[in-house]
Amino acid sequence: MFSKKKLGALLLIIDWLVAIAAWASFYYVRKVYIEHSEFSIGSAYYPGLFIIPLFWIAIFALQGTYLDARRLHRMKVLSLTFFGSIVGTIVLFFFTLIDDEVDDHTLFYQSILWLFSIHFIYFLIARTIFASILVKSIHARKNGFRTLIIGGNEKAVEIVNELNHMKKSSGQVLVGFVNLNGTDKLLEGTLPYFGKADDKLETIIRKHNIEEVVIALENKEHDKIHTLVARMGGSDLKINVLSDMFDILSGSVKMTNIYGALLIEVNADVMPVWQRVFKRFIDIAASLIAIIILIPFYIVTAILVKLSSPGPVLFFQERIGRNGVPFKIIKFRTMYVDAEKAGPQLSSSTDKRITPIGKIMRKLRLDEFPQFFNVLIGDMSLVGPRPERQFFIDKIVETDPQFLQLTKVRPGITSWGQVKYGYAETVDQMLQRMKYDLLYMKNRTLALDFKIMLYTIGTIIKAKGK
């Protein structure tokens, strides 16, 4: 069984080799059949063999092609290759061919048609072969996705039998099951039992490298189903429920027929793959620029913090990041040293632990600026739900497990909840702010990110932070 990283790397190498062959073929066709001249290797030939394949790899990477090649199938390959080839052809034409001197402008149309046709056909053939071999291995149960069954009742037995006895595998490799009450264990002897989901579901998922989950519970357990989906929303899982649960989760799922086993896949991430890739590119570029521009500010602020009270300039605190992974957030210190010697506390507008300079910094959100380093190394994003400490996450989840959905993405320096609600001073206020961040999660786009950043700039200028 190949990992998604190895298959992604293999597909990348295939695309790279195909891009070299396609560009070499186009170069020959252009010289001989379009320009009607003798074939000769010009000065642009060899640089093109190096640069053009890298360009195509970048186009396909923006489509998310290499993130998990195991989930490619022939129709998806056709779609990705067709639209990627159109975009790539247009860009290449304007950057490499438009300045050519030609006697007849119809040669431009011939060039762009050949450029598209050669690259599209070459990529499609190679990728279709790759996808066909992969799909065949999945159908033959030689490859697939490590899957956990939640439930141990008759429904769970029924779906397991259906998945196991299908002539062609749907891709789920069943590795074990958990239940809710500790008593329904009808799957024992068929699958390993990992324990009760209520106690250690997240730990089980991490320990056994689970990639997909099938929730096989009774419809009467509505609340438990909602809670489970919310708890698992903070991880890179594909969550499937039985088709008769559609009414329970209506609006947050999509139908998918997996070779006879009618399941519903919970569709948690609405941001297209290309936007997610571009969002990360913006994070890196903007953070680098911000860090360089803000060097004088960092120096001045460090001096002011140092003079305001004894203690370090920077404040490091463990927060929970993407997929529940902890990281150290970086801030300028705005409180006196040992401000939390009595335990974790949320700050307030009248908090005596905050230094005089710290109050000004919080108003202007200046204490957050060192987090550009967190963004640069990948712990955070420019825009995303604000990261919280595990202590407060546990308290929030006791009331509303939906909060765990916010840990599915990278936390941000600023968020929709931050600009619309501000800093939360109590757990109840954190729950109120959560509603804005959940709304962001359900409507996540680059356009919304830019809007939030503009709101944040306005907050800083007007000193409306708290």
What is the reported pTM?
A: 0.67
Integer angstrom CA distances of residue 161 from 25, 139, 213 = 51, 16, 16
The tokens of 96 are what?
């490499």
One domain for residues 283 and 151? no
What's the CA gap between 102 and 105, in Å, rounded?
7
Q: Last residue of a domain, which of 212, 243, 266?
A: 266
The DSSP bridge partners found for residue 318 are: 328
Which has the closest alpha carbon to 466: 296, 298, 351? 351
Give me the domain span that covers residue 42: 4-139
CATH number where 243 lies? 3.40.50.720
Residue labelled with tokens 């202590």? 391
The tokens of 367 are what?
């204490």
The amino acid present at 102, given as its one-letter code, is V
One domain for residues 354 and 444? yes
One domain for residues 193 and 94? no
Please give the pLDDT value at position 195: 86
One domain for residues 222 and 345? no
Four-residue CA torsion sign, 173, 178, 179, 185: positive
One domain for residues 40 and 66? yes
The tokens of 26 are what?
């186009």
Please give the pLDDT value at position 264: 66
One domain for residues 200 and 128? no
One domain for residues 81 and 133? yes
One domain for residues 203 and 172? yes
Q: Last residue of a domain, which of 230, 249, 266?
A: 266
One domain for residues 223 and 295? no
Q: Last residue of a domain, which of 139, 171, 189?
A: 139
Contact present, 234 and 407 (Cβ < 8 Å): yes
Q: How many domains does the chain have?
A: 3
One domain for residues 259 and 285? no
CB atoms within 10 A of CB 347: 17
What's the CA gap between 63 and 61, in Å, rounded?
5
One domain for residues 170 and 280? no
Cα radius of gyration (the chain): 27
One domain for residues 134 and 262? no
What's the CA gap between 424 and 335, in Å, rounded?
17
Please give the pLDDT value at position 222: 62
Per-residue model confidence as pLDDT tens for the chain (466 residues): 667 788 999 999 999 999 999 999 988 887 777 766 776 676 667 888 889 999 999 999 988 899 888 888 888 899 899 999 999 998 888 877 655 555 556 777 788 899 999 999 999 999 999 999 999 998 888 888 999 999 888 888 888 888 888 888 878 889 999 988 777 788 888 899 998 877 678 788 888 889 899 888 776 666 677 777 777 765 578 888 776 554 545 444 554 444 445 566 765 567 877 888 889 999 999 999 999 999 999 999 999 999 989 999 999 999 999 888 899 999 999 999 888 877 787 877 678 888 989 888 888 888 999 999 999 999 999 999 999 999 999 888 888 888 888 888 899 999 988 888 777 778 888 888 888 888 888 788 888 899 899 888 887 776 665 5
The tokens of 270 are what?
């609405």
Which has the closest alpha carbon to 422: 372, 375, 363, 344? 363
CB atoms within 10 A of CB 214: 23
Contact present, 385 and 415 (Cβ < 8 Å): yes
Which has the closest alpha carbon to 354: 335, 382, 374, 337? 335
At 269, give phi and psi (nearest 5°): -105, 115
